[in-house]
Structure 1
Amino acid sequence: MKAAIVTIGDEILIGQIVDTNSSYIAKALDKIGIATHEMLSISDDKKHILNTLNLLQNKVDVVIVTGGLGPTKDDITKKTFCDYFEDNLIENEEVLFHVKSIIEGIYKRPITQINRDQALVPTKAKVLFNKVGTAPGMWMEKENTVFISLPGVPYEMKYLVDNEVIPNLVQKFERPYIVHQTIMTYGRGESMIAEQIEEWEDNLPQFIKLAYLPSPGKVRLRLTARGTNEELLRNEINNQVQKLDLLIHDIIVGYNEDEPIEVVLGRLLTDKNLTIATAESCTGGKIAATLSAVPGASNYFKGSVVSYATQAKTNVLGVANELIIELGVVSAEVAMEMAKSVQKIMASDFAIATTGNAGPTKGDDIAELGTVFIAIATKSEVYVEEFNFGQPREKVIDRAVSKALELIYKEILKK
């Protein structure tokens, strides 16, 4: 089965907002075996909407449209649906009662005609009742395609997808099973991994596909199996993961894409009853922000010193000014002193320190652009590694954060 997702709104096309609705809908469809064939963002233009609906009809099984539903005059989706399905609008009593209860009961003001118009739906539409907003969803069918229209407000869209759209699609269609398994890897590039697992990949069953999803410092490997026998798919996926683990076990950090390395790291620290702190210069607190974003991080994350300026390194962390003058602020020795100091200040088991030249200009330091020193302090030792992450600045910072988390993860595994 195939679906298309259409978002309506000039605010998306001019970059004023980011389309997160399509991602949410695609994930929900995937879980029930419906593959998203394409995603489109189009303008608030009646002709454009009609052309898009006509283009997708019979090309896919399901079209889900978000946006263009609401109390303002520029929300034109309902009227456009009426034109496309040769229909007209009628007032839905259940929706009107709901709208009145919100406007008069919650907002304590009289209902206006614009509010009443929210209860207008095409006569041929199946109403998808929106308990968390005033604009209902609509389900309409034409020839071989189901057309579903949803509000663009994210929390309203999510409610309708979860409580109306998915249950109705499950009831209407017989669908194949789609089983995914994501393997999270750190510390090795996409091309190196591909070379290492080439023979394994070449021997995958035809119903299993492998995708490489690289990002700074890490690569997600996603296995996708499609078929009619769910048990067979899951068993074969598990079998292939076990074979893969024998090849690259040293870089695998998890098997759930909803669990990035900071989550895995946090669980590891918690299980071992260990703590961590950070001292950051070029990464500007991003490692600390990544660690502390995980719920329950207070159990293991002691704190951070963002010693961006040289003065902070000397006054707060106690790095000797003579050391900085002699070797430069971007140096292995300074990184090691930062790590040891913050470990002592925070009384932590481990510490991470970063100092580097992220760019875009070289400044007064002698270190080349992209140079980053990452130091790791344990109870028994401190060591440092030097990297050059190139440019631009954002790449340097992101890769430094990823590499720091990778290094500390491997260190904690030793304990």
Structure 2
Amino acid sequence: MKAAIVTIGDEILIGQIIDSNSSYIAKALDKIGIATHEMLSISDDKQHILDTFQSLQNKVDIVIVTGGLGPTKDDITKKTFCDYFNDTLIENETVLLHVKSLIEGIYKRPITQINKDQALVPTRAKVLFNQVGTAPGMWMEKENTVFISLPGVPYEMKYLIDNEVIPNLVQKYERPYIVHQTIMTYGRGESLIAEQIEEWENNLPEFIKLAYLPSPGKVRLRLTARGSNEEILKNEIKIQVEKLDLLIHDIIVGYNEDEPIEVVLGRVLTEKQMSISSAESCTGGKIASILSSVPGASKYFRGSVVSYDTQAKIDVLDIDENLIKNHGVVSAEVASEMAKSIQKIMKSDFAIATTGNAGPTKEVGGAELGTVFIGIATPNEVFVEEFNFGQPREKVIDRAVSKGLELIYKEILKK
């Protein structure tokens, strides 16, 4: 089965907002065995919408549209639906009562005609009830394609996908099974991994495909199996993952895309009842942000100091000024002292420190562009590793964060 996802809104096309809806919808469809054939972002233009619908008609089984269901004049999706399906709008009593309860009961203001118009839907539409907003979803069918219209507000879209769209699709269609398994790796590049696992990859069953999903400092390996028997797919994926683990066990940090290294790291720290802190310069607090983004991080993350300025390293982290003068602020010596200092200040078991030149310029006598020193303090020792992550600046910072998390994770596993 094939689906197309269409987002409507000039604000997406001019880069004013990022389309996160399509990703959520595609993942939800994939879980029930429906493959997303294409994603489109189009303007708030009636003819453009009609042309898009016509181009997708009978090409895919399902078209899911988000956006254009608001109460203002620039929201034209409902009227365009009527044009495409040769239908008219009618007031839906259930939706109207819900809109009134939201406006008058929760928002405590009189309902307007614009609000009431939210209850207008095509006469032949199956209404998808939106418990968390005023704009209902609409389900309409033409020839061999189902067209589903959803509000563009992310939390409303998510509610309707989870509670209305997916259950209805499951009931309507018999679907193949799609099983995914993601292996999270850190510290080795895509080409090196590919070379190391080439024989294993060449011998994968025909119904299993491997995809490499690289990003700075890490590579996700995604196995996808398609077929009619879910149990066979899952068993074969398990067998292949076990074989892969024998080849690259040293760089695997997890087997779930929803569990990146910071989640795995947090779980290990919690199990070991140990703590961590960070002192950051070139990474500007990104390590602390990632560590603290995990629910429950207060159990193990003590805190951080972003000593971006040299004087802050001296005043806050108590780094010897002469040490900086003799070795430079971007040096192994300074990284080591930063790690030791933050470990002491925060009374943590582990600490990570970064200092480097992310660019885009180099000071006279300073470190080369892309140079980063990462200091790691454990309960027993402090060590520093030097890297050059090249350019541009964003790449240096992202790779420094990934490498720092990789290094500290490996040390925590040793304890």
TM bucket by the smaller chain?
over 0.9
- 1:198-236: per-residue Cα shift (whole Å, max 9, x none)? 110111111111111111100000001111100000000
* Higher alpha-carbon deviation: 327-336 or 39-48: 327-336
Q: CA deviation at 1:108?
A: 3.2
Q: CA deviation at 1:104?
A: 2.5
RMSD of aligned residue pairs (Cα, Å): 1.1
The aligned runs of 1:70-109 (5 Å cut-off) are 70-109=70-109
* Higher alpha-carbon deviation: 273-282 or 95-104: 95-104
Tell me which residue corresponds to 1:402: 402
Task: For 1:130 and 1:236, locate their aligned partners in 2 and report how far apart those are by CA, in whole Å.
Answer: 40
Task: For 1:361 and 1:219, locate their aligned partners in 2 and report how far apart those are by CA, in whole Å.
Answer: 29
Tell me which residue corresponds to 1:199: 199
Aligned AA (1:44): D
Q: CA deviation at 1:380?
A: 1.9
Tell me which residue corresponds to 1:22: 22
Task: For 1:113 and 1:314, locate their aligned partners in 2 and report how far apart those are by CA, in whole Å.
Answer: 63
Task: For 1:179 and 1:414, locate their aligned partners in 2 and report how far apart those are by CA, in whole Å.
Answer: 33
Tell me which residue corresponds to 1:156: 156
Task: For 1:145 and 1:77, locate their aligned partners in 2 and report how far apart those are by CA, in whole Å.
Answer: 18
> Percent identity among equivalent residues?
85
- 1:57-77: per-residue Cα shift (whole Å, max 9, x none)? 100000000011121111111
* Higher alpha-carbon deviation: 111-120 or 81-90: 111-120
- Contact in 2 for aligned 1:358/1:371 (Cα 8 Å): yes
Tell me which residue corresponds to 1:261: 261
Q: CA deviation at 1:101?
A: 1.9
Q: CA deviation at 1:107?
A: 2.8
Aligned AA (1:111): I
Aligned AA (2:38): E
- Contact in 2 for aligned 1:3/1:63 (Cα 8 Å): yes
Tell me which residue corresponds to 1:412: 412
Aligned AA (1:203): N
The aligned runs of 1:158-197 (5 Å cut-off) are 158-197=158-197
The aligned runs of 1:267-346 (5 Å cut-off) are 267-346=267-346
Tell me which residue corresponds to 1:3: 3
Task: For 1:355 and 1:107, locate their aligned partners in 2 and report how far apart those are by CA, in whole Å.
Answer: 50
Report the CA distance shift for 1:105/1:319 in structure 2 as closer, same or farther (over 3 A): closer
Task: For 1:109 and 1:381, locate their aligned partners in 2 and report how far apart those are by CA, in whole Å.
Answer: 64
Aligned AA (1:296): G
**Corresponding residue pairs, total:** 415
Task: For 1:241 and 1:63, locate their aligned partners in 2 and report how far apart those are by CA, in whole Å.
Answer: 34
- Contact in 2 for aligned 1:278/1:305 (Cα 8 Å): yes
- 1:259-278: per-residue Cα shift (whole Å, max 9, x none)? 11011111111111211111
- Contact in 2 for aligned 1:137/1:151 (Cα 8 Å): yes
Tell me which residue corresponds to 1:64: 64
Tell me which residue corresponds to 2:147: 147
Tell me which residue corresponds to 2:123: 123
Task: For 2:357 and 2:277, locate their aligned partners in 1 and report how far apart those are by CA, in whole Å.
Answer: 22
- Contact in 2 for aligned 1:330/1:365 (Cα 8 Å): no
Tell me which residue corresponds to 2:353: 353
Report the CA distance shift for 1:109/1:318 in structure 2 as closer, same or farther (over 3 A): closer
Task: For 2:364 and 2:46, locate their aligned partners in 1 and report how far apart those are by CA, in whole Å.
Answer: 58
Q: CA deviation at 1:365?
A: 4.8
- Contact in 2 for aligned 1:329/1:365 (Cα 8 Å): no
Report the CA distance shift for 1:138/1:279 in structure 2 as closer, same or farther (over 3 A): same
Aligned AA (2:54): N
Structure 2: stretches of 5+ with no match in the other structure: none
Q: CA deviation at 1:154?
A: 1.0
Q: CA deviation at 1:364?
A: 4.4
Task: For 2:69 and 2:42, locate their aligned partners in 1 and report how far apart those are by CA, in whole Å.
Answer: 14
Tell me which residue corresponds to 1:385: 385
Task: For 2:345 and 2:110, locate their aligned partners in 1 and report how far apart those are by CA, in whole Å.
Answer: 61
Q: CA deviation at 1:106?
A: 2.5
Q: CA deviation at 1:43?
A: 0.3
Q: What is the SS of the residue equivalent to 1:249?
A: helix
Q: CA deviation at 1:280?
A: 1.1
- 1:343-375: per-residue Cα shift (whole Å, max 9, x none)? 122222111111111111112452100000011
* Higher alpha-carbon deviation: 150-159 or 239-248: 150-159
Q: CA deviation at 1:311?
A: 1.2
Q: What is the SS of the residue equivalent to 2:27?
A: helix
Aligned AA (1:164): E
* Higher alpha-carbon deviation: 263-272 or 360-369: 360-369
Structure 1: stretches of 5+ with no match in the other structure: none
- Contact in 2 for aligned 1:339/1:375 (Cα 8 Å): yes
Q: What is the SS of the residue equivalent to 2:246?
A: helix
Q: CA deviation at 1:379?
A: 2.2
* Higher alpha-carbon deviation: 308-317 or 252-261: 308-317
Task: For 2:258 and 2:351, locate their aligned partners in 1 and report how far apart those are by CA, in whole Å.
Answer: 25
Task: For 2:356 and 2:296, locate their aligned partners in 1 and report how far apart those are by CA, in whole Å.
Answer: 30
Alignment TM-score, normalising by the size of structure 2: 0.98
Task: For 2:110 and 2:313, locate their aligned partners in 1 and report how far apart those are by CA, in whole Å.
Answer: 62
Q: What is the SS of the residue equivalent to 1:385?
A: strand
The aligned runs of 1:228-247 (5 Å cut-off) are 228-247=228-247
Task: For 2:252 and 2:40, locate their aligned partners in 1 and report how far apart those are by CA, in whole Å.
Answer: 35
Task: For 1:106 and 1:264, locate their aligned partners in 2 and report how far apart those are by CA, in whole Å.
Answer: 41
Task: For 2:190 and 2:262, locate their aligned partners in 1 and report how far apart those are by CA, in whole Å.
Answer: 21
Aligned AA (1:404): G
Task: For 2:145 and 2:379, locate their aligned partners in 1 and report how far apart those are by CA, in whole Å.
Answer: 64
- 1:239-282: per-residue Cα shift (whole Å, max 9, x none)? 00000000000000000111110111111111112111111111
Tell me which residue corresponds to 1:215: 215
- Contact in 2 for aligned 1:330/1:356 (Cα 8 Å): yes
- 1:322-349: per-residue Cα shift (whole Å, max 9, x none)? 1111111111111111111221222221
Alignment TM-score, normalising by the size of structure 1: 0.98
